[in-house]
C-alpha cells in the first residue's frame, strides 16, 4: 500500500493549500462565486416569488442597516447618522417600492434589474444637479442600491446550493460560512486566507474539513466536479482516479476507527503521565455547537465569541434576547464554566460600511468600540449579569491595550451591578472578570493587568499578528505569521510567569491550542488550561495523556533559547519521536 507522500507525489490532479481543518471527504463541488452586481436581466415566470424575494431582501437590508445605525447614532452624531436613517426610510419608501413591484408585474424581469434601473433614475437626477453635494448624495443612494441587490443575489444563490457538497470559493465571510454550513456542506476550500481566516475557524468548530490559501482552486475546479479534500495535509484531488478514491476510502475508515478509539477517553481527565491535569475547554462560535462541546468532553467553555450572534441575527440582539442565549448556554454547560467574551467587533470581524479606517486592525475594535458605545456595552453586561444565576459565568474583555481601559470597563460593569440591585434583579455578585491578552503592550504589562482582574486568557491569533506586525489574512506575508517564533514563545512565557506571580489563572484560547505540535510546548510553558474548537479536544487529550510534564518543561526551557522558528519546530518534532508519541496525521 502506498502512503500519503507517494499518492500526492504521483498525483497529476492535485491542488495544494493550507490544511485548515482536519478530516477527509470525497464529494461533489459547489463553486460559490459572488457575482457582485452583475445585474441579471433575465425574464422571470413567477411574479409572486419575485416579489417575495424582494420583500425578503428589503427586510434583510433593514436588519443590516439597523445594526449600523445603532452604532452610528452614538459614534457619529445625528447629522452623519441621518444618512443611515434616510437609507432605512428608502427601504420603506411607499412610492419607490410600489413602483418597483408594479414594474416586476408588468415587465416580468428579475427584481434586481428593476431595483437597479429604478433607483439609478434618481441617482441620475442627483448627478445632473448643479449642486456639488448632490453628487455625494448620489453616492449614498448607491450604497443602499447595492445593499438591496446584494441581498437579492444572495437569495438567488442560496436556493441553488445542493446538499452534501464541498464549497469552493474565492474567500468566505463569517456570515457566508455559517449560512453555507446550514446546507449540510461537507468541506470548504478557498483561494485566499490562512489558518485564522473565518472559513478555517468555523470549519474547525463545525468539524468540517477545510483547505485554505490554494490561490487558484476556483479556476482549477469546476462546478459539479468530484474532488477529494484532505484537511490533514492540505491537498485537493480533482476528479480523482480509481486508485486515489480507493486509497482515501481506506483512510476515511481508519479515521472513523481512530475517532472511536478517542471516544474511550472523552470523559477521562487530560492528565499527563506524571499526574499534571490540564483543563481542556471549548471555543464556541455558534450556539448550535453546544452539543459538540458536551459530546467531546470539554471542561467548560473557555471562549464564547458573542459577536457571532450578530452574524447569525444580522443585528444587535436586545438585552432579553442576550440574557436568554447566555442563560441557556450556562445551564447546558453547568457545572463547568462558561466564559463569555464581550462583542469583539471591528477589524476583520465586523465591517462598518461607513468607516473607512485606513488601518482597521489598529483602529476601533474590541474593547475600544465597547467603551465608545456605552449603551451597547451596558446592554451586554446587564444581560451577562442577569444570566449569571448559576454562578458559572465569567466575563472577558477583548483587545485590552492599557490598564486605564480596564478601569473604565470595570466602572461600567459596576454601574450595571448597581442598576440591577435597584431593580431588584438577582445576579452572581462574585462573577469573575477577565481579559484577553493579545496586544503586545498588554503582554509587557501582564502582571499589573492581571492584578486588576480575576483571570487572563492569551489570544494567540491577534497576539502573533501584532507581535510580528503581520496581517494574518495576507498571503504575501503570511509566512511571517509564525506561531513557533521564539519571540512568540518568549512572550507567552513572560505572560504566564508574570500572571502566576500575582496568583491569577492563565489560559490560552487561540488557534495555537488546537495544533497538536504546540501542545507539549504550551504545557511546558506552564499553561494549566487550553481552549480550542470542540472537535479537536479529544485529539489534544490523547497527546497530553502520553506526555510527561517534567519532560515538557525541559522542552520549553530548551525552546526558549532558540532564535528561529525552524529550530523550535524541529526540536518539538524530535520530542514527539523521542517519546514515541505519534501525531494524528501520522496514525491514519
Among 42, 59, 63, 89, binds another protein (CB under 8 A): 89
Q: 338-362: string of b/e by CB count within 10 Å (b at 16+)?
A: bbbbbbbbbbbbbebebeeeeebee
Which of residues 92 and 320 has its CB atom nearest to another protein in the complex? Answer: 92
Give 147-151's long-range contacts (Cβ < 8 A, gap of 24+).
147/61, 147/64, 147/65, 147/87, 148/57, 148/58, 148/61, 148/91, 148/115, 148/119, 149/37, 149/39, 149/112, 149/115, 149/116, 150/36, 150/37, 151/56, 151/57, 151/58, 151/60, 151/61, 151/64
Min separation Cβ 116 and another protein, Å: 14
**From 31-39, 120-128, 360-368, 394-402, span contacting another protein (CB under 8 A):** 120-128
Q: What is the DSSP string of 514-525?
A: G-TTTHHHHHHT
Which of residues 66 and 207 has its CB atom nearest to another protein in the complex? Answer: 66
- Share in percent of the chain as helix, strand, coil (round to 5): 55, 15, 35
Min separation Cβ 93 and another protein, Å: 5
For residue 198, indicate whether it is catalytic: yes
Which of residues 83 and 376 has its CB atom nearest to another protein in the complex? Answer: 83
Q: Judged by CB under 8 A, does residue 85 bind another protein? A: yes
**From 59-67, 85-93, 351-359, 463-471, span contacting another protein (CB under 8 A):** 85-93
Which of residues 119 and 206 has its CB atom nearest to another protein in the complex? Answer: 119
Interface mask (CB under 8 A) for another protein, residues 121-160, using x and -? -x--xx--xxx-xx--x--xx-------------------
Which of residues 125 and 268 has its CB atom nearest to another protein in the complex? Answer: 125
Min separation Cβ 29 and another protein, Å: 41
Q: Report how far residue 374's alpha carbon sits from residue 189's, in angstroms, rounded to the nearest whole number.
A: 39
Q: Report how far residue 214's alpha carbon sits from residue 208's, in angstroms, rounded to the nearest whole number.
A: 17
Count of positions on this chain that bind another protein (CB under 8 A): 24
Helices (H) and strands (E) in the chain, counts: 24, 16
Q: Judged by CB under 8 A, does residue 355 bind another protein? A: no
Give the CA count within 13 Å in the CB-facing half-sphere of 444. 7
Q: What distance separates the 2 farthest-apart alpha carbons in the chain? A: 81
Min separation Cβ 77 and another protein, Å: 11
**From 3-11, 78-86, 171-179, 260-268, span contacting another protein (CB under 8 A):** 78-86
Exposure of 28 by Cβ count < 10 A (0-12 exposed, 13-18 middle, 19+ buried)? middle
Which of residues 94 and 275 has its CB atom nearest to another protein in the complex? Answer: 94
Min separation Cβ 118 and another protein, Å: 9
Q: Judged by CB under 8 A, does residue 103 bind another protein? A: no
Residues 543-562 that bind another protein (CB under 8 A): none
Among 5, 12, 48, 95, binds another protein (CB under 8 A): 95
Q: Judged by CB under 8 A, does residue 90 bind another protein? A: yes
Q: Which of 186, 192, 416, 509 is catalytic?
A: 509
**From 82-90, 154-162, 164-172, 574-582, span contacting another protein (CB under 8 A):** 82-90
Q: Are 311 and 178 in contact (CB under 8 A)?
A: yes
Q: Report how far residue 554's alpha carbon sits from residue 570's, in angstroms, rounded to the nearest whole number.
A: 15
Q: Judged by CB under 8 A, does residue 115 bind another protein? A: no
Q: Are 505 and 529 in contact (CB under 8 A)?
A: yes
**From 90-98, 450-458, 469-477, 560-568, span contacting another protein (CB under 8 A):** 90-98
Min separation Cβ 66 and another protein, Å: 15
Q: What's phi and psi for 32, nearest 5 deg?
A: -100, 100
Among 39, 96, 175, 245, binds another protein (CB under 8 A): 96
For residue 139, indicate whether it is catalytic: no
Which of residues 73 and 585 has its CB atom nearest to another protein in the complex? Answer: 73
**Residue 366: closest CA among 405, 407, 317:** 405
Min separation Cβ 96 and another protein, Å: 5
Which of residues 132 and 476 has its CB atom nearest to another protein in the complex? Answer: 132
β-pairing, 24-32 with 226-230?
Answer: antiparallel
Min separation Cβ 61 and another protein, Å: 14
Bond from prior residue into 281 cis (ω within 30 degrees of 0): no
Mark out the alpha helices in 343-423 (DSSP H runs): 367-372, 374-386, 403-422
Q: Judged by CB under 8 A, does residue 94 bind another protein? A: yes
Q: Judged by CB under 8 A, does residue 567 bind another protein? A: no
User: What order do you get walking across the sheet with 235-238 strand by strand?
Assistant: 14-16, 235-238, 226-230, 24-32, 166-169, 187-190, 210-212, 18-21
Which of residues 78 and 358 has its CB atom nearest to another protein in the complex? Answer: 78
**From 118-126, 340-348, 450-458, 559-567, span contacting another protein (CB under 8 A):** 118-126
Q: Are 333 and 304 in contact (CB under 8 A)?
A: no
Q: Judged by CB under 8 A, does residue 354 bind another protein? A: no
Q: Report how far residue 504's alpha carbon sits from residue 192's, in angstroms, rounded to the nearest whole number.
A: 39
Q: Which of 198, 210, 416, 559 is catalytic?
A: 198
Exposure of 314 by Cβ count < 10 A (0-12 exposed, 13-18 middle, 19+ buried)? middle
Min separation Cβ 73 and another protein, Å: 13
**Residue 479: closest CA among 490, 491, 464:** 464
Q: Are 20 and 211 in contact (CB under 8 A)?
A: yes
Q: Judged by CB under 8 A, does residue 15 bind another protein? A: no
**From 117-125, 209-217, 283-291, 525-533, span contacting another protein (CB under 8 A):** 117-125
Q: Judged by CB under 8 A, does residue 470 bind another protein? A: no
Min separation Cβ 146 and another protein, Å: 15
Q: What's phi and psi for 274, nearest 5 deg?
A: -100, 20
Which of residues 130 and 422 has its CB atom nearest to another protein in the complex? Answer: 130
Min separation Cβ 449 and another protein, Å: 43
Distances (CA, A) of 170 to 50, 179, 229, 315, 453: 28, 16, 16, 26, 42
Catalytic residues: 198, 509
Binding site for another protein (CB under 8 A): 78-79, 82-83, 85-86, 89-90, 93-96, 119, 122, 125-126, 129-131, 133-134, 137, 140-141
Amino acid at each position: 500500500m502506498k502512503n500519503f507522500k507517494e499518492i500526492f507525489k504521483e498525483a497529476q490532479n492535485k491542488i495544494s493549500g493550507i490544511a485548515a481543518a482536519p478530516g477527509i471527504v470525497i464529494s461533489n463541488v459547489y463553486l460559490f462565486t459572488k457575482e457582485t452586481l452583475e445585474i441579471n436581466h433575465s425574464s422571470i415566470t413567477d411574479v409572486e416569488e419575485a416579489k417575495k424575494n424582494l420583500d425578503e431582501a428589503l427586510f434583510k437590508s433593514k436588519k443590516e442597516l439597523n445594526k449600523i445605525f445603532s452604532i452610528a447614532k452614538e459614534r457619529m452624531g445625528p447629522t452623519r447618522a441621518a444618512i443611515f436613517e434616510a437609507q432605512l426610510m428608502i427601504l420603506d419608501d411607499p412610492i419607490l417600492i410600489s413602483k418597483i413591484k408594479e414594474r416586476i408585474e408588468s415587465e416580468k424581469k428579475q427584481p434586481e434589474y428593476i431595483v437597479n434601473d429604478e433607483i439609478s433614475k434618481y441617482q441620475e437626477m442627483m448627478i445632473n444637479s448643479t449642486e456639488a453635494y448632490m453628487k455625494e448624495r448620489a453616492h449614498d443612494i448607491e450604497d443602499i442600491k447595492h445593499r438591496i441587490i446584494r441581498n437579492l443575489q444572495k437569495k438567488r444563490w442560496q436556493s441553488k446550493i445542493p446538499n452534501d457538497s464541498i464549497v469552493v470559493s474565492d474567500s468566505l465571510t463569517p456570515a457566508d460560512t455559517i449560512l453555507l454550513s446550514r446546507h449540510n456542506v461537507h468541506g470548504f476550500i478557498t483561494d485566499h486566507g490562512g489558518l485564522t481566516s473565518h472559513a478555517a475557524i468555523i470549519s474547525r468548530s463545525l468539524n468540517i474539513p477545510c483547505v485554505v490559501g490554494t490561490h487558484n482552486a476556483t479556476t482549477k475546479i469546476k462546478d459539479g466536479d468530484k474532488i477529494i479534500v484532505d484537511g490533514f495535509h492540505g491537498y485537493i484531488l480533482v476528479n480523482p482516479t480509481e486508485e486515489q478514491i480507493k486509497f482515501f476510502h481506506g483512510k476515511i475508515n481508519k479515521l472513523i476507527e481512530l475517532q472511536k478509539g478517542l471516544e474511550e477517553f472523552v470523559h477521562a481527565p487530560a492528565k499527563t503521565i506524571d499526574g499534571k491535569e490540564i483543563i481542556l475547554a471549548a471555543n464556541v462560535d455558534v450556539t448550535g455547537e453546544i452539543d459538540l462541546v458536551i459530546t467531546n468532553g470539554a471542561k467548560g467553555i473557555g471562549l464564547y465569541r458573542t459577536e457571532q450572534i450578530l452574524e447569525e441575527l444580522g443585528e444587535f440582539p436586545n438585552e432579553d434576547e442576550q440574557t436568554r442565549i447566555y442563560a441557556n448556554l450556562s445551564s447546558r454547560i453547568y457545572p463547568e464554566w462558561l466564559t463569555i467574551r464581550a462583542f469583539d467587533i471591528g477589524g476583520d470581524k465586523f465591517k462598518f460600511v461607513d468607516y473607512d479606517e485606513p488601518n482597521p486592525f489598529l483602529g476601533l475594535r474590541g474593547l475600544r468600540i465597547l467603551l465608545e458605545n456605552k449603551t451597547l456595552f451596558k446592554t451586554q453586561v446587564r444581560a451577562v449579569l442577569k444570566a449569571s444565576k448559576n454562578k458559572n459565568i465569567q466575563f472577558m474583555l477583548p483587545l485590552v491595550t492599557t490598564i486605564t481601559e480596564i478601569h473604565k470597563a470595570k466602572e461600567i460593569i459596576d454601574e450595571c451591578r448597581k442598576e440591577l440591585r435597584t431593580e431588584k434583579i438577582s445576579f452572581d455578585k462574585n462573577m469573575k472578570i477577565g481579559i484577553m491578552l493579545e496586544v503586545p503592550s498588554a503582554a509587557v504589562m501582564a502582571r499589573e493587568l492581571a492584578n486588576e482582574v480575576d483571570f487572563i486568557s492569551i489570544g494567540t491569533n491577534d497576539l502573533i499578528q501584532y507581535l510580528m506586525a503581520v496581517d494574518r489574512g495576507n498571503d504575501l506575508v503570511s509566512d511571517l505569521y509564525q506561531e513557533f517564533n521564539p519571540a512568540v514563545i518568549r512572550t507567552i512565557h513572560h505572560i504566564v510567569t508574570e500572571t502566576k506571580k500575582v496568583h491569577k489563572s492563565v489560559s490560552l484560547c487561540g488557534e495555537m491550542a488546537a495544533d497538536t505540535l504546540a501542545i507539549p510546548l504550551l504545557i511546558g510553558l506552564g499553561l494549566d488550561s487550553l481552549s480550542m474548537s470542540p472537535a479537536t479536544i479529544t485529539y489534544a487529550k490523547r497527546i497530553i495523556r502520553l506526555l510527561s510534564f517534567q519532560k515538557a518543561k525541559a522542552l520549553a526551557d530548551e525552546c526558549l533559547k532558540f532564535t528561529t522558528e525552524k529550530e523550535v519546530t524541529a526540536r518539538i518534532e524530535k520530542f514527539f519521536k523521542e517519546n514515541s508519541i505519534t501525531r494524528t496525521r501520522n496514525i491514519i
